[in-house]
Chains A and B, each alone.
Chain A
Amino acid sequence: MTTTPLLEVEGLTVHYGKAIAVENVSLAVHEGEWVSLIGANGAGKTTTLRAILGLVRPTAGRIRYRGQEITRLPAHARVELGIGYVPEGRRVFGDLTVEENLLMGAYRIRDRARIRRNLDRVYHLFPRLAERRQQLSRTLSGGEQQMLAIGRALMSEPELLLIDEVSMGLMPIAVSHAFGVIEDLHRQGMTILLVEQNARKALARASRGYVLETGRIVLSGPASRLQQDPQVQQAYLGV
């Protein structure tokens, strides 16, 4: 492809102390794509996402967004550029109400009318959240918290959504629901970079995929090809 990718990661290396978590990872996400990053627990998937958002400092490598270098930008500035984040384990603000959580997501937007519009859109997407808008979010079920985490990320009107382990700790029905929502968002034009242990779900609707093993990318390509790859099938799909 000749167009500039929406997100471009080049030679990313991250250390935690002396331990290396991610080594020389390069990947690209083009506008409108759904890219899935799969791999076992501890392969460095989450660390890669966190580095893209600016929550960990890489020891080497570059991150570009729309061609602009963002490697040194603080996380809050990257959110402003249009990167939304659904963290692993949901991490909703338990002492805040559902609506306050959503307002936090719209933190960078100062226009009340726009915030109102975004709230309506999220409530339309997740009627359950509308019913519970005044409830403390720690009292929500896991599935509801996952909806809230996605809704919160949507509040900032992101162009690129980073989604970390959406299936973790959820009942199968809640997992299906969450993936259904992500599919809808993607169909409506949202660019998605998804990190997931559940390779089958992650590759089913994705455009492309990368396979991470102990901090390195060992395989990449169209999702359909990865699904057929014997190595992937054996290691991640349990075929």
Chain B
Amino acid sequence: MYYYVVVGIALALYVTLTLSLNIITGYGGQPTLGHAAFLGVGAYTAAMLMTRAGVSWWLTFPAAFLTAALLGLVVGGAGLRVREDFLAITTMGVGFVVVAVFQYTPWFGGVMGIGGLVPPPGVDKVALLLIATGLAAFTALVSWWLERSWAGIALRALRDDEEAAEAMGADTRRFKLLAFVIGTGLAGLAGPIYAVHLGFVSGPDFGFHFSITLLTMAVFGGLGTIRGAVAGAVILGLAPEVFRFISDYRNLVYGGLLILMMLIRPTGLLGVTSLRLPGLPGRKGGISRAAP
């Protein structure tokens, strides 16, 4: 039982993180290779506040959101100045810097990280699972709202054709920033749960490897849809549990899956056009390229 609860918490966190990454990369088309760092910022915010200032765990959530979103604003702002491929490198660099800062600054506990993080009395693993699931649902709700809002249409439009979106009067810079702030803030919200679930935080845990895992989940499931992000997170999150014997080759399997997906189905398992049958009119219309 306990095992399932623990796996459940991990899955809920994966879903939250993949959905939040999907807001930036799926809706806004902005590549990000350092998403785990924002989880790290949220987790360290919670850890620092709890151990150094004795702040209640509950109150660390808004703080984790704010710190992560603030860093997201800075990275997104810097990203406005560079093209997409450079943005990927920039976000990757930010990921490395965040990890290094946590790891080499004694104030952040250095290499040892920060340990002894326990949830408040009354919050056992089952309660933590409920909270994590609640956060995943909340993230899905935000995504759902975003998809239908003006901002969502503008984001998808700028993903399609940034210049044309600009020519329609949309301030594309504002929407890219919005996607970054919401996406990174939500990733930060997962931080406090992550921190007490594992009981400690340590810089390298939020490194490149984790970021790539999240990106793989989003791409595998299909960028740009809620169902895709959830499917990617659940399937790839469960895979190492179900296929224990492959756990040593996890990265190999992930990488292989990613390449396979790119070759066979670049839009992912449940991506933007996945539920539309070719040849049918309406929203479920065909996916063929328009003839000139």
Interface residues, chain A, with chain B CB atoms under 8 Å away = 53, 55, 74-76, 79-80, 85, 87, 91-97, 100-101, 103-105, 107-108, 132, 134-136, 138-142, 145, 152, 156, 169-170
Contact = CB atoms under 8 A, between A and B. Distances in A.
Contact of B290 (A53, A74, A141, A156): A141
Interface stretch (B36-44, B135-143, B279-287): B279-287
B263 interface: no
Contact of B167 (A85, A94, A142): A85
Contacts of B290: 94, 138-142, 145
B156 to A, nearest CB: 6
Interface residues of B, number: 33
Contacts of A104: 153-154, 157, 165, 168, 170
Interface string B266-292: 000000110010000111011111111
Contacts of B167: 53, 55, 75, 79, 85, 87
Contacts, number: 97
A96 B168 CA distance: 14
B160 interface: yes
A79 B168 contact: yes
B21 to A, nearest CB: 18
Contacts of A169: 292
Nearest to B289: A138
Contacts of B153: 96, 100, 103-104
A93 B281 contact: no
A54 to B, nearest CB: 8
A169 B161 CA distance: 19
Contacts of B159: 95
Contacts of B157: 93, 96, 100-101, 104
B124 interface: no
User: Does more than half of chain B's interface fall in helix, strand or loop, or is it mixed?
Assistant: loop
A46 to B, nearest CB: 12
Contacts of A101: 157
Given A93-B156, A93-B161, A142-B292, A107 B281 contact: no
B241 interface: no
B152 to A, nearest CB: 9
B169 A79 contact: yes
A141 B163 CA distance: 22
Nearest to B169: A79
B85 to A, nearest CB: 19
Contacts of A75: 166-167, 169
5 contacts: A55-B167, A75-B169, A76-B170, A87-B164, A169-B292
Contacts of B276: 136
A139 B281 CA distance: 10
Contacts of B287: 136, 138-139
Interface string B207-239: 000000000000000001000000000000000
A139 B159 CA distance: 18
Please list the 4 inter-chain residue pairs (A to B) with the smallest Cβ-Cβ separation, ordered nearest first.
A79-B169, A108-B169, A93-B160, A91-B164
B116 to A, nearest CB: 48
Tell me which of A53, A75, A134 has the highest count of chain B C-beta atoms within 10 A of its own C-beta: A75
Given A76-B170, A95-B156, A135-B283, A142 B291 contact: yes
Contacts of A76: 166, 168-172
Nearest to B174: A76
Nearest to A103: B153
B160 A74 contact: no
